[in-house]
Chain A
Amino acid sequence: MTLKTILKTKAFYATLAALVLTLVPLAAKKASDAASKYKEKLNKQQQLEHALSRLSFGARPGDLEAVQKLGLKKWIEQQLNPQSISENPALESTLAQMPTLALSTEALVLNYPTPQVLTAVATGRMKMPEDPQLKEVYERLSQRYKNRIERKKTKGEEEEEAAQKGINDRLRRRVGAMTTEERSLALRKLAPQQAVASELTEAKIYRAVLSERQLNEVLADFWFNHFNIYLDKGADKWLTTAYERDAIRPHVLGRFSDMVRATAQSPAMLFYLDNWTSVAPEAGEKIRRVAPKARARGLNENYARELMELHTLGVDGGYTQKDVQEVARCFTGWTIEEPNRGGKFRFAERVHDKGEKVVLGITIPAGGGIEDGLKVIEILSSHPSTAKFISRKLAQRFVADEPPQALIDRMATTYQKTSGDLKAVMKTMLASPEFMSAGSYKSKMKSPLEMVAGALRATGATLTNAMPAAQAIAQMGQPLYRKQEPTGYSNNGEEWLNSAGLLARINFSLALSENELQGIRIDKDSFSTIARDMGAPEWQRR
């Protein structure tokens, strides 16, 4: 049979047609394979493991049994109502050793003075505090600024300074090895500016490891990252503590619009995304004439853009460059009282753009004040794009890197129906078959924080110093509170799958198993092997 005759036979075409018919659905089948994985149920044991791995920073010895005894549904219900769970006293006493955590920003700046405050004291623009202990700290620290300003030092002063510097340097080197309590005291005297950042960082780890309100801690991490700010940007060193405590934590299971408003009015966010200096162009002209060097001379788009792109609508949420400018105009005058002295939110009527604005097609009439910005928050928070964007992001954290669209849609519907009640959205997600499915089970790479906190929990580690854990997390690519970009860290687990991170995970696990990390102790007889396992492939996912 020649090729020509083959081509003529009916049988050939029949075979060809059959082949086409079987091949075409093959592509479709691949997609439906993924979909069917979200229909595949988990057995009871897997359900327990899965819930603990997603709603907590990992199971401690005995957790599985305890949740089983309580009943999984009931445990989830408790976790969704953190106030109903009594907190671990060990956590509470550790947090109590870190006084910066509870201070108002005003008190924080007074007790842990900023360079601006110290300069002001050194040059006599501000009075010394009366508290004798505090006065001693001020005197010593502000002397540095005084010398720097006057640029004249006697030989004796220079020598004394050098000696003091030597003592400080030696002390500083030891700080890393101190317990949390020792460090807190030492830094307060020695380098109050560092105390604030180090207590915030340590507290995050203590909470992740020790809190009984695990879902609350997971969500605090998630939402801080969603509304990310950068600790090392100037005044944010002092403002981040209150930001997380007052703008994020109270709202993680509350109404989304409340969290948007709290972040919008928080000095930390106003400073981080520059809105505090954004003024109406006409007001800027006036300021320029009076004070040519002044910072605030007109509009700054930074916050307006990120508010829509990252906090609410999402980048494809349907806004334009014009909307960015209009939203920026609405937020002119949202500023901070003396930012470097721990100021509060302030609406500066004088520099607010009072003209008419149109945001996403909605007219905001001329003559408005603070209500212009509040209106924008309302428009954005109730927008369907926000409902979808927030639902997808939550599902990406709790379900899968590429969460099923049907689930996102149901979550978004709940969001819309409940005017953005985050607890209701969480309930929709956690009760969904997709969440408790084979598609979700162990599909996500742990983030460095999840990996380290998880290892400390799994090995029942005792912590007297959380800095080494924080350093390990930074080595793995996730320095806490120090993601410079407003995007925050990726929610997609694949971000964490690479050689540098893997090696850091292995080395952390080994050091943990040998009790070679400062301030972290495990019972080697019982947990050394488990600690080692934490670096193995089967423990990198949750």
Chain B
Amino acid sequence: MATRRVFLKNSGLAIFGIGASPAWLERAVAAITNKKILVAILQRGAADGLNIVVPHAEKAYYTGRPGIAIPKPGSSEGATLDLDGFFGLNPNLKSLLPIFNEKKLAIIEACGSPNPTRSHFDAQDYMESGTPGLKATRDGWLNRTLADDNTKSPIRAVSLGPVLARTLRGTQPAVAINSVKDFQVRDRMAGEDYMSRYAASVDTQLKGTGKDTFEAIRLLEALRKVEYVPANGAVYPSGRLGSSLKQIAQMIKSNAGLEVAFADLGGWDHHVNEVGATPFIGPLANLLREFGDSLAAFYQDLGPRMDDIVLTTMSEFGRTARENGNRGTDHGHANVMFTMGGSVAGGKIYGKWPGLEREQLYEGRDLAVTTDFREVLGEVVTGHLGNRDLTRVFPGFSSKAPLGLFASGAATTTKNS
């Protein structure tokens, strides 16, 4: 019977030579690993999409946000970076602009959930389970993208951070890794002892998690010994997302069989003083720099390998179209998503733009949802990962209006005006 032990044996050989691994060896390993990789990023706390991809041609954007709007392109310091004459990037995301111009970054506007909740907890839960409105779903959509196959790598599904993200919980083994470098038992002999104790446990959950853990430890052994140097002069920013993406890049390049990875970045819940004296100051600016620079470093680091990778970002819901009483924004509805990768038909803004005039807003206050977030994720799953059963990944969801994120010449935004 083929088990993941087989994989360990094979790839253990390959990763011995990390740093100076001969090309033929890498090719040999690539043949036994799944080539296509998906990286999912969750911006926890409901990021303010309207200040991330700015609808600078919308009058209502500026009238509704007198204190926190990002200035029109070319107008002043910290102006919006124009993308298509209607939308532009927050200036703190300038490192993403070249990727958009290279047509490797797609922006999807007015995405969200059919469920109207404005609870962070519920909305994140739905976004991670992939089943809006259903709290009983135990597994996450990212786990359900994995084929049922126990010959795969023990690090085929990785969640960066000290806990396993809900979206990676499920029937397929997935590991949480806080730090690749420290992913080991401090005493080797003791490690063997614990391994057998977990293997002998009658507690099936702990036994399973123990098995996944010790297999991943073994696989990552070679990686721990070498200081990772990003390629192409890429510099990851300090902070949680930069470090997560750097480690994901490291694992991808080790060809150890990574298929899906998850990382998150919290702190987007800007109810007060969202934007400082200039758009370069304030809590949103700081987070966006970390966000944009991390994505850009990842893109640069992986170089041509991005052809096999798609990175997609999401946040549980958007924020109110108008600023609140404290130069901040309250919980809203639709938001913006980014999808980046070599096979992405980028350089475009996708989705139907519902407009920001009062009568166009959802409940008179929030950007309306015109694209189900599963439409975007579903296309990534079918278009990029390929040959997957979408009804299994997103039960109860059927595609209404394909965006064409992976085809050339597909539909872009249509505006209501």
The interface of chain A, by Cβ under 8 A from chain B, is 274, 277-279, 281, 284, 295-302, 305, 309-310, 315, 321, 324, 474-477, 484-487, 494-504, 506-507, 510-511, 532, 535-538, 540-541
Q: A475, A477, A536: which contacts B194 (Cβ < 8 A)?
A: A536
Asked if B397 lies at the interface with its beta carbon under 8 angstroms from chain A, I say: no
Q: How far is the CA of A309 from the CA of B184 in the complex (A)?
A: 40
B203 to A, closest residue via Cβ: A537
Asked if B164 lies at the interface with its beta carbon under 8 angstroms from chain A, I say: yes
- Whether A540 contacts B163 by the Cβ 8 Å rule is no
Asked if B290 lies at the interface with its beta carbon under 8 angstroms from chain A, I say: no
- 23 CB-based A-B contacts, threshold 8 Å: A300-B328, A302-B330, A310-B121, A315-B119, A476-B162, A484-B45, A484-B266, A485-B269, A487-B121, A494-B169, A497-B209, A499-B175, A499-B209, A499-B212, A500-B176, A500-B177, A500-B183, A501-B163, A503-B213, A510-B187, A511-B186, A536-B197, A537-B197
B159 to A, closest residue via Cβ: A498
Q: How far is the CA of A487 from the CA of B44 in the complex (A)?
A: 12
Stretch at the interface among B102-110, B319-327, B346-354: B319-327
- Whether A503 contacts B185 by the Cβ 8 Å rule is yes
B158 to A, closest residue via Cβ: A499
Q: Return A238 CB to nearest CB of chain B, in Å.
A: 18
Q: How far is the CA of A286 from the CA of B45 in the complex (A)?
A: 31
A298 to B, closest residue via Cβ: B325
- Residues in A with CB closer than 8 Å to B325 are 277-279, 281, 284, 296-300
Asked if B363 lies at the interface with its beta carbon under 8 angstroms from chain A, I say: yes
Asked if B216 lies at the interface with its beta carbon under 8 angstroms from chain A, I say: yes
B363 to A, closest residue via Cβ: A321
Q: Which of B162, B169, B217 has the most CB of A within 10 A?
A: B162
- CB neighbors of A among B212-229 (8 A): 212-213, 216-217
Q: How far is the CA of A302 from the CA of B320 in the complex (A)?
A: 12
A511 to B, closest residue via Cβ: B186
Q: How far is the CA of A474 from the CA of B210 in the complex (A)?
A: 20
Q: How far is the CA of A279 from the CA of B272 in the complex (A)?
A: 13
- Residues in B with CB closer than 8 Å to A474 are 162
- Whether B271 contacts A475 by the Cβ 8 Å rule is no
Q: How far is the CA of A225 from the CA of B248 in the complex (A)?
A: 32
B175 to A, closest residue via Cβ: A499
Asked if B190 lies at the interface with its beta carbon under 8 angstroms from chain A, I say: yes
Asked if B122 lies at the interface with its beta carbon under 8 angstroms from chain A, I say: yes
- Whether B331 contacts A305 by the Cβ 8 Å rule is yes
- Whether A298 contacts B177 by the Cβ 8 Å rule is no
- Count of chain B residues with Cβ under 8 Å from any Cβ of A? 54
- Whether B185 contacts A300 by the Cβ 8 Å rule is no
When each residue 324-347 of chain B gets 1 if its CB lies under 8 Å from chain A and 0 otherwise, what string results?
111110110000000000000000
B198 to A, closest residue via Cβ: A537
- Whether B267 contacts A475 by the Cβ 8 Å rule is no
- Whether B326 contacts A315 by the Cβ 8 Å rule is no
Main secondary structure of the interface of B (DSSP, over half): loop
- Whether A305 contacts B272 by the Cβ 8 Å rule is no
- Residues in B with CB closer than 8 Å to A494 are 169, 205
Q: How far is the CA of A493 from the CA of B271 in the complex (A)?
A: 31
Q: B119, B122, B191, B201: which contacts A537 (Cβ < 8 A)?
A: B201
When each residue 153-169 of chain B gets 1 if its CB lies under 8 Å from chain A and 0 otherwise, what string results?
00000010111100001
- Whether B267 contacts A484 by the Cβ 8 Å rule is yes
- Whether A277 contacts B326 by the Cβ 8 Å rule is yes
Q: Return A445 CB to nearest CB of chain B, in Å.
A: 8
Give 16 A-B pairs besides A281-B325, A498-B164 with Cβ atoms closer than 8 angstroms: A274-B328, A295-B327, A296-B325, A300-B324, A315-B121, A475-B162, A484-B267, A485-B45, A485-B266, A486-B120, A500-B175, A503-B183, A503-B184, A507-B186, A535-B194, A536-B194
Asked if B95 lies at the interface with its beta carbon under 8 angstroms from chain A, I say: no
Q: Return A377 CB to nearest CB of chain B, in Å.
A: 20
Q: How far is the CA of A300 from the CA of B122 in the complex (A)?
A: 21
- Whether A300 contacts B271 by the Cβ 8 Å rule is yes
Q: Return A267 CB to nearest CB of chain B, in Å.
A: 15
Q: A278-B326, A506-B185, A507-B185 are in contact. Are A541 and B203 (CB under 8 A)?
A: yes
Q: How far is the CA of A510 from the CA of B198 in the complex (A)?
A: 15
Q: A274, A305, A475, A506: which contacts B118 (Cβ < 8 A)?
A: A305
- Residues in B with CB closer than 8 Å to A498 are 159, 163-164, 175-176, 209
Q: Return B36 CB to nearest CB of chain A, in Å.
A: 24
- Residues in B with CB closer than 8 Å to A536 are 194, 197-198
Q: How far is the CA of A279 from the CA of B328 in the complex (A)?
A: 14
User: A-B pairs with the 6 shortest C-beta distances?
Assistant: A298-B325, A477-B162, A498-B164, A499-B213, A500-B176, A537-B201
- Whether B121 contacts A532 by the Cβ 8 Å rule is no
Q: Return B75 CB to nearest CB of chain A, in Å.
A: 20
Q: Which of B177, B198, B213, B326 has the most CB of A within 10 A?
A: B326
Asked if B34 lies at the interface with its beta carbon under 8 angstroms from chain A, I say: no
Q: How far is the CA of A501 from the CA of B206 in the complex (A)?
A: 11
Asked if B370 lies at the interface with its beta carbon under 8 angstroms from chain A, I say: no
- Whether B324 contacts A301 by the Cβ 8 Å rule is yes
- Residues in B with CB closer than 8 Å to A300 are 271-272, 324-326, 328, 330
- Residues in B with CB closer than 8 Å to A324 are 118
B164 to A, closest residue via Cβ: A498
B173 to A, closest residue via Cβ: A499
A287 to B, closest residue via Cβ: B325
- Residues in A with CB closer than 8 Å to B184 are 503
Q: Return A484 CB to nearest CB of chain B, in Å.
A: 5
- Residues in A with CB closer than 8 Å to B216 are 499
Q: How far is the CA of A370 from the CA of B192 in the complex (A)?
A: 63
Q: How far is the CA of A475 from the CA of B183 in the complex (A)?
A: 12
- Residues in A with CB closer than 8 Å to B175 are 498-500
Q: Return A159 CB to nearest CB of chain B, in Å.
A: 28
Asked if B33 lies at the interface with its beta carbon under 8 angstroms from chain A, I say: no
Asked if B412 lies at the interface with its beta carbon under 8 angstroms from chain A, I say: no
Q: Return B106 CB to nearest CB of chain A, in Å.
A: 29
- CB neighbors of A among B27-43 (8 A): none
